[in-house]
Amino acid sequence: MYHKFSKTVFGAATALALVATAATADDWRAWNIHNDGHPNTAAMDRFAELAKEKTGGEVTIEVFHGGVLGSQPDALEQVQLGAIDIGNFNLGPIGPLVKEANLVSLPFIFRDVPHMFRVLDGPAGEKIAGAMSEAGLVPIGWFDAGARSFYNNSGPINSPADVEGMKIRVMNNDLFTGMVNAMGGNGTPMAFGEVYQALSTGVVDGAENNLPSFQSVGHYEVSGYYSLSEHLIIPECICVNAAKFDALSPEMQAALTAAAEEASLYQRELWAEQTAASRTAVEEAGVKINLIADKGPFQEAMAPVYENYLAANPDMAELVELAQSTE
């Protein structure tokens, strides 16, 4: 009798748990390229905690750090397909998938990080977010990724002429190859995880990134000079697979978005601290931080990049104008 009862109870409880699992709880896999110590890793862990808390456990997220789920271009494709549910992505490699997103990858389009966020928070940002969502990547939070500058070994870079003949690693996007080529260099797309080796063996002469990433993956160990060209100010997103997001109730969508927004504010605080800390750390390790007295020639050299982009995408002129005219 006892046996029978307990079996029934157990059976009922199991069935209930299964129903509950199928109907509500959802385990998501998240992609993150960074390792421990990088602000985005802490922010993504915080996001996972907040998502669980705010959705009452309906969405639980396991974050896979260090790019173990694949390179960024691959992971973007996986999120579009739903094989990975969510990730922290740089908008640079999203440009080849969503032409509107390429606005933020135009060199020197933004005056500084606050200007970038003002554009992102305005109608241009809305248009970009809409186009990304249609492409299957719903942005629910925006991270700060500072400004990207060039680093190399042969000497400081003070003008575009100093880039001439140099093979510079860039992220996967024709705009970035075009950017380096417009200075007479050789823009070389390569996965982030391969850059350290490429720099140390001389497969490339240099690369470009923000200070926290330059430090966290050790590129500073194999680069003598970091020249503050600040040619790209590209935001990052927390982006969800569109089908997954659409399948959530409006309440759950709001809860997840609130988690992403709170995690983004946390990320921006950490970012500011880490940028200063990384600068000090790499200088202490012997890297020369080179201030560029006049960035004008770099900006002028970008004319063909803009011309080619607008010739290929005439419908993007309005977005460029919108960004440039944002105070």
Binding site for ligand GTR (CB under 6 A): 33, 72, 90, 92, 145, 171, 192, 209-210, 213, 236
Nearer to ligand GTR, 93 or 136 (CB): 93
289 near 215, Cβ under 8 Å? Answer: no
- Angle (CA) 97-211-299 rounded to 5° is 65
| Least separation in angstroms between CB 41 and ligand GTR | 10
- Angle (CA) 266-271-276 rounded to 5° is 140
Nearer to ligand GTR, 31 or 225 (CB): 31
- Residue facing ligand GTR at closest CB distance: 192
Instruction: Please give the full DSSP string across 21-82, using - where no structure is assigned.
Output: HHHT-EEEEEE----TTSHHHHHHHHHHHHHHHHTTTSEEEEEE-TTTT--HHHHHHHHHHT
Nearer to ligand GTR, 213 or 241 (CB): 213
Rg over CA atoms, the chain: 22
| Least separation in angstroms between CB 257 and ligand GTR | 21
For residue 301, give both structure tokens.
């050299």
| Least separation in angstroms between CB 212 and ligand GTR | 7
Measured between alpha carbons, how far is 131 from 116 in angstroms, rounded to an integer? Answer: 18
Nearer to ligand GTR, 100 or 236 (CB): 236
Nearer to ligand GTR, 210 or 274 (CB): 210
Give the residue from 113, 121, 77 showing the smallest Cα distance to 98: 77
| Least separation in angstroms between CB 92 and ligand GTR | 6
| Least separation in angstroms between CB 182 and ligand GTR | 19
